[in-house]
């Protein structure tokens, strides 16, 4: 299968941790799980979050946000690339892995620039714009690399936000990783979208006394729940929006679960599975 894998922050760095050693330990574990996915004969393309890293870098350096996204793409991509290579070698699998510094086009007139909503930084009090992704600039090279049977890591952190203004120009914003992941999946015609987060299931009435895990749900039903505002914009909302767009764009199946439960989810024992 052609699988799009979106790694949430918990697959990169456990909550409550902020040091490099902890991040490396988590990425090693994640890479082992992904290597098993490859060993089963699947072709994968990987994207990942970078929330804690980009916020911390922005706080410490005061560098432009587009530059911070680029730096953290490289940092996390390098670690994933190296550790996944090591895990594949243990399984005697020869695969080239490449990280692509990825720019993602947004509309310079996107309303998000006038109404920042995305909290970043260690205090989470700083709000920045989160415009809608339109196109992955490096889509052709990503497709070529994937078609050569390479494992591609791309569009980390939603991609580096750029606009067209007498050429390409970086802007002060961050793009939602899950929404941008759908664009990545279209490049390779992915059939399955694995959104690996920090919960085992998507829940109805999350956090309430009557919360209920969703196990297998049809696209029509999940769209109904989405319109009922069951999934908050700041957490599960973008993931469900991405799932809907992925399936409506030609994908066959979306699985949302925690990285630790991926194997069980593929066996349909855990996780939320969304199908047409």
* 237 three-class SS: helix
Domain coordinates of the chain in residue numbers?
15-33+48-188, 191-276
Fold classified for 191-276: Carbamate kinase (3.40.1160)
Contact yes or no for 196/11 (Cβ under 8 A): yes
Q: What Å distances lie between residue 243 and 101, 158, 219, CA to CA? A: 24, 15, 9
pLDDT tens string 149-184: 999 999 999 999 999 999 999 999 999 999 999 999
pLDDT of residue 119: 87
Residues ≥6 apart with Cβ < 8 Å to 242 = 6, 178, 179, 181, 182, 193, 195
**Closest to 139 measured CA to CA, from 108, 83, 185:** 185
Residue 227, helix vs strand vs coil: helix
Residues of the chain short of pLDDT 50, as ranges, are none
Write down the H helix ranges in 177-257: 177-188, 219-227, 237-248
pLDDT computed for residue 151 by the predictor: 98
Q: Which CATH number fits domain 15-33+48-188: 3.40.1160.10, 1.10.260.40, 3.40.50.300, 3.30.1370.60?
A: 3.40.1160.10
Catalytic residue ranges? 9-10, 118, 177, 239
């Amino acid at each position: 299968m052609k699988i799009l894998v979106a790694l949430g922050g918990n697959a990169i760095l456990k909550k409550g941790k902020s040091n490099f050693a902890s991040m490396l330990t988590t990425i090693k574990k994640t890479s082992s799980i992904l290597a098993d996915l490859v060993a089963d004969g699947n072709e994968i393309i990987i994207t990942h979050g970078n929330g804690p890293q980009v916020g911390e870098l922005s706080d410490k350096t005061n560098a432009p946000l587009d530059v911070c996204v680029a730096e953290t793409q490289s940092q996390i991509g390098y670690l994933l690339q190296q550790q996944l290579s090591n895990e594949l070698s243990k399984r005697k699998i020869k695969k080239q892995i490449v990280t692509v510094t990825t720019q993602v086009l947004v509309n310079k007139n996107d309303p998000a620039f006038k109404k920042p909503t995305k909290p970043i930084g260690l205090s989470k009090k700083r709000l920045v714009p989160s415009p809608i992704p339109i196109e992955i600039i490096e889509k052709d090279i990503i497709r070529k690399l994937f078609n050569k049977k390479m494992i591609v890591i791309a569009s980390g952190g939603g991609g580096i936000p750029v606009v067209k203004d007498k050429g390409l120009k970086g802007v002060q914003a961050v793009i939602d990783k899950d929404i941008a992941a759908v664009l990545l999946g279209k490049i390779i015609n992915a059939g399955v979208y694995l959104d690996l987060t920090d919960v085992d299931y998507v829940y109805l009435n999350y956090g309430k006394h009557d919360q209920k895990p969703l196990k297998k749900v049809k696209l029509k039903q999940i769209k109904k729940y989405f319109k009922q505002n069951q999934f908050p914009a700041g957490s599960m909302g973008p993931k469900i929006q991405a799932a809907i767009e992925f399936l409506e764009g030609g994908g066959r199946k979306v699985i949302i679960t925690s990285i630790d439960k991926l194997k069980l989810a593929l066996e349909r024992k855990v996780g939320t599975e969304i199908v047409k």
